[in-house]
Chains A and B, each alone.
Chain A
Amino acid sequence: MKKTLFLAAAIGFAGLPVNADERVAVIRDDIVKKECGACHMAFQPQFLPASSWRTIMEGLTDHFGEDASLDEETARHITGYLAGNAGRSRGAKTAIRITELGWFVHEHNDEVSPRARKKAGTMANCTACHRGAEKGYYDDD
């Protein structure tokens, strides 16, 4: 039992959307780039599984505390792209915050100084530290 738990934890932490030295594929859809990048960096779809993206897209009128609603056609298009390029599903829980995922917490917890965190304002502000985040580079930390 103990061994199984350890294994699960190891897979959980190793369960990054890509290997650490690999680049995350960039968003190649102009509508996704524009609409998802209006208020924050457009996060690459690989960071969440399809079910999470669908949940997010269904709740745009209260998107992390703001109304980010879109017309139906645009929303459908974006959902299709996000779900079609989504990451693997991990666990039964449908996470909607990338920053709460096990691998994210593991990667950031001890590495981010209070000063860097303050400068970024929020952990959702990838480009504050990862200059190449929009191009899929997250290795510059």
Chain B
Amino acid sequence: MKLSFAPLAAALFLTAIAPASAGPDQDSVLTYFQQRADSAASPERGKSLFEARHGGGKPQTPSCTSCHGGTPSETGKTRAGKEIAPMALSRTPQRFSDLKKVEKWFRRNCNSVLGRECTAQEKSDFLAFMMSQ
């Protein structure tokens, strides 16, 4: 009986953190990582991950904000001078809808910034934060 509440709880949870701009594609991308994470996605932890200056990565990119701008609603800039659309889902509504693309950029950027792959928990937190923005 207890188990049968799980999908409902998950649905309620997604509704709670994902704003109106998150479509079914974004929901399923977040669910994918959520199912592989140890605990519920935390937008607060995602915010810290985004803002922190990490060690262990490449010296040129100590933080997500090195390229993405100080806040998710800002337009970022690559080191080569190309603009990066804001990470906030409300600003760039097509973001986070393609799992393959999301995984590609987590792989690259976690390695560049943290010097390792991100965990499913970190990815889940990060997405929850960006989808709440």
Give the distance in Å from the alpha carbon of A40 to the alpha carbon of B80 in the complex: 5
Which one, A61, A62, A71, A124, contacts B80 given CB within 8 A? Answer: A124
Say what secondary structure dominates the interface of chain A. Answer: loop
Among B6-14, B28-36, B39-47, B53-61, the one that faces the other chain is: B53-61
Closest B residue to A68 by beta carbon equals: B108
Which one, B77, B79, B80, B112, contacts A67 given CB within 8 A? Answer: B112
Closest B residue to A69 by beta carbon equals: B108
Contact indicator per residue, chain B 81-103, by CB within 8 Å of chain A (1) or not (0): 11000000000000000000000
Structural contact, B82 and A62, CB atoms closer than 8 A: no
Which one, A41, A65, A120, contacts B61 given CB within 8 A? Answer: A65
Q: Kindly list chain B residues whose C-beta atoms are within 8 Å of the C-beta of A41.
A: 80, 82
Give the distance in Å from the alpha carbon of A40 to the alpha carbon of B104 in the complex: 17
- Which residues, 100 to 125 on B, are CB-close (under 8 Å) to A? 104, 107-109, 111-112
Structural contact, B82 and A66, CB atoms closer than 8 A: no
Residue contacts A-B, CB under 8 angstroms, 13 given: A40-B81, A41-B80, A41-B82, A62-B58, A65-B79, A65-B112, A66-B79, A67-B109, A67-B112, A122-B80, A122-B81, A124-B80, A125-B80
**What 3 A-B pairs come out closest when comparing CB atoms?**
A125-B81, A40-B80, A65-B60
Contacts from B to A (Cβ < 8 Å): 58-61, 77-82, 104, 107-109, 111-112
Contacts from A to B (Cβ < 8 Å): 39-41, 61-62, 64-71, 120-122, 124-125, 128
